[in-house]
Amino acid sequence: MGLPITSWVEFYIILISFVIIFAGKIRRNGNNWIIASIISISIFVLSIITPKDIEEGHTIFSSDAESLHKTNLPENVYQLALFFSKNDQLGVPKPRKAWAFSADSVWNKSYLSRKTNQLDFKNPYYSRIGVYNDLEAGADHYSFKIRYPLIVRYDLPERFNNADICFSGMVFINEVKYFHEDKRCIKLPNQKTILYGFDMGNLPILGISIDSNDITSLWINILKYLKIVSAFTILILLGKVHRSFIIITFVGTISMFIFLADYTLQNGLRSAFSTFVYMSRGNDGLVHFGYGRQILENFIEGNYLLAFRGGRDIFYYMPGARYAHAIWMLVFGDSFLGYILLGSMLPIVIYNLSLRFVSNKSAFLLVLIYLFFPIFESFGFLHFYYMKLIIKGHGGVISWVSLFSSIILLLPTKGSSFNPNTSRWLLAGTLLAIACSCRPNILPICGMLVFGFGILSIHKKKYFPFFSLCFGMSQIFLLTLHNWFFGNQIHLITKSAISNMYVSYEMWLKALIKLANGIYDKNLWNVILENLFVWIHPTELWLITALAFLIWSIFSKKIKIEIRLLSLAVLFGHLVFLFYRGDPRYAYGIWLLSLMIFFNAVPFFIKKRPAIYEKILSKLPTNIYLNGK
């Protein structure tokens, strides 16, 4: 394989690698490592001597008189695009450059958008056209209705002379216009070819492919399969993991495909099952992904200050997600595979988190429930929900994975003793900072975790873990520095903290003072209660019960001190919803942690577990502990 990683096959190879790293073992057999090294070096050399020689460009066409297209496109191409796109110009921005930036080009520089060595343009939405998800492309708020006028360009090398090119739609081949309603094939000329394709207006959806039997093309196909076989061989040689983890991780990705199918059928998602997700216009996901593209483009061009700026002088909403996307694009190009990979690891994260509260077998049972059965879906304990948020581009899943992972690093497994570790706590603090950057409303729970576990660490005279935890969390002040440096204002994370507050402190104070004086302000309390009932409704007895157990866990001396500290932090996480909306996707992680604390507390009230529970546990696999538990 090579960079960027953009196909589903490559994704599953990387997913298996991550499962081995985080839930398995790396073999230390010297012979295996020698063989794996030889295979890796061979594939690397073969990839180097097989360069990408097709230049590909794409741009959303703008008819603006001052657009770069007027001066950079051939006149006949420009006039044709002007004619067919005249009804598609709503919300089309002026391009920043003649040919749009592509994250796929990071490792293979191109004078257009990107380089490739095969031409298989099935349709615009399957071909990872990153410019569709540019921030400027979000003017239309009607999901997927608008058809942005797209022009693609291919500069073909001489090896394609006289090759068969098949296409549907309208193309220019060396300034000769061709139009096919359905896919048909013609011979390319016996000379260097420049091809322009149009996807706009009432034209058929553009599709282009080349069928060539030259030696280079045949070798490229062979190398593609050789890379896949080599990657699996290396995994077998170097990795060892319990099959249960492979199964639950792979099954977890099915949730994503189920949602993609539903989203495509019900809402008209144009990219369908492509590794590139065409973001809904006006959606949060378009903002995060679009800013991520800007950050990476500026970074690659050496505009490091603009890259750090992240598109805003003062952050609004969730600043962390845009930087995460920029980092993922380095490896996964304009695909969505980086975020999907993070979500696909959630079953293992949930299993490892559960080990901090219940036994090994019970933890595995909880993962099965999390994957397949919506028994605790009110607590955000359902994998489908998180994969849905990822496909929609919301940044919250980054936050929840980071928060859960930090707690895994802070807490020992059930039955083990509490022993602070400097490197683990440094990573935990960093993950807490990342969590806050992607979901600022969890700052209270993160702050209390640092405070509580910091005090506990000092009490145990473990000073280095304390300082490492504080240093890791202090990285959140990079966002404060950003807001001050670029916007000359002090905001800890985002300036939306006040504007998004549904019930202000003043409203609560005013309502309580009036109530203490025997006055019930109906209007004030209607607003307050309406907000509270979004978070927890009086009819949701299961949530009320979990909340009661959470409070009991804080004060009960039967509970370990580290769980009591976590319970206090989670309670602070809940208190946020006295002021902000407690919509499910904003509260998933808080309720999931409340559920875990509930499972930890229940055995203190139940002396004998039900027979059916014991019977289920007896059927589950054993010896499936994670590495580094």
What is the model's pLDDT at position 529? 93
pLDDT digits (tens, 9 = 90+) for 186-223: 999 888 899 999 998 889 999 999 988 888 888 888 98
What is the model's pLDDT at position 629? 42
Kindly report the backbone phi and psi dihedral angles of residue 303, in degrees, each rounded to the nearest multiple of 5, phi listed first: -90, 70
What is the model's pLDDT at position 52? 86
- Residues 264-282 as b or e (16 or more Cβ within 10 Å = b): eeeeebbbbebbbbbbbbe
Kind plus residue range of the DSSP H or E element containing 241: strand 239-241
Confidence of residue 279 (pLDDT cuts 50, 70, 90): confident
* pLDDT higher at 629 or 76: 76
Are 363 and 36 within 8 A, CB to CB?
A: no
- pLDDT above 80 (res 342): yes
Are 39 and 366 within 8 A, CB to CB?
A: no
What is the model's pLDDT at position 435? 97
Across 399-420, average pLDDT: 92
In this prediction, what percent of the chain has a pLDDT beyond 90? Answer: 62
In this prediction, what percent of the chain has a pLDDT beyond 70? Answer: 93
What is the model's pLDDT at position 137? 65
Confidence of residue 140 (pLDDT cuts 50, 70, 90): low
Q: In this structure, what token pair is assigned to residue 468?
A: 């490492």
Which single residue is written with the structure tokens 């483009």? 297
Confidence of residue 627 (pLDDT cuts 50, 70, 90): very low
DSSP string, 215-236: HHHHHHHHHHHHHHHHHHHHHH
* pLDDT higher at 415 or 127: 127
- 194 by DSSP, 3-state: which? strand
What is the model's pLDDT at position 266? 85
H helices then E strands: how many in the chain?
Answer: 25, 10
Confidence of residue 414 (pLDDT cuts 50, 70, 90): confident
What is the model's pLDDT at position 623? 54
What is the model's pLDDT at position 613? 65
pLDDT digits (tens, 9 = 90+) for 365-386: 999 999 999 999 999 999 999 9
Confidence of residue 617 (pLDDT cuts 50, 70, 90): low
Q: In whole angstroms, what is the distance from residue 336 CA to residue 392 CA?
A: 11
Are 189 and 148 within 8 A, CB to CB?
A: no
pLDDT digits (tens, 9 = 90+) for 294-331: 999 999 999 999 999 999 999 987 899 999 999 999 99
pLDDT digits (tens, 9 = 90+) for 102-111: 999 998 889 9
- pLDDT above 70 (res 155): yes
Are 392 and 285 within 8 A, CB to CB?
A: yes
What is the model's pLDDT at position 478? 96
Range in 84-98, 165-179, 526-540 the model is least confident about: 84-98
Kindly report the backbone phi and psi dihedral angles of residue 114, in degrees, each rounded to the nearest multiple of 5, phi listed first: -160, 170
pLDDT digits (tens, 9 = 90+) for 10-65: 999 999 999 999 888 888 888 999 999 999 999 888 888 887 889 999 998 887 76
Across 130-156, average pLDDT: 77
Confidence of residue 143 (pLDDT cuts 50, 70, 90): low
Confidence of residue 97 (pLDDT cuts 50, 70, 90): confident
Residue 62: alpha-carbon gap to chain centroid: 30
Which single residue is written with the structure tokens 């605790």? 376
Domain ranges of the chain: 8-49+219-241, 56-210, 248-496
What is the model's pLDDT at position 89? 56
- pLDDT above 70 (res 417): yes
For the chain, give the mean pLDDT: 89
What is the model's pLDDT at position 243? 84
Query: pTM here?
Result: 0.92
Q: In whole angstroms, what is the distance from residue 166 CA to residue 347 CA?
A: 43
- pLDDT above 60 (res 566): yes
What is the model's pLDDT at position 621? 65
What is the model's pLDDT at position 1? 64
pLDDT digits (tens, 9 = 90+) for 230-252: 999 999 999 988 888 888 899 88
Q: In whole angstroms, what is the distance from residue 516 CA to residue 463 CA?
A: 46
Q: In whole angstroms, what is the distance from residue 335 CA to residue 103 CA?
A: 9
Among 483, 590, 500, 490, CA closest to 536: 590
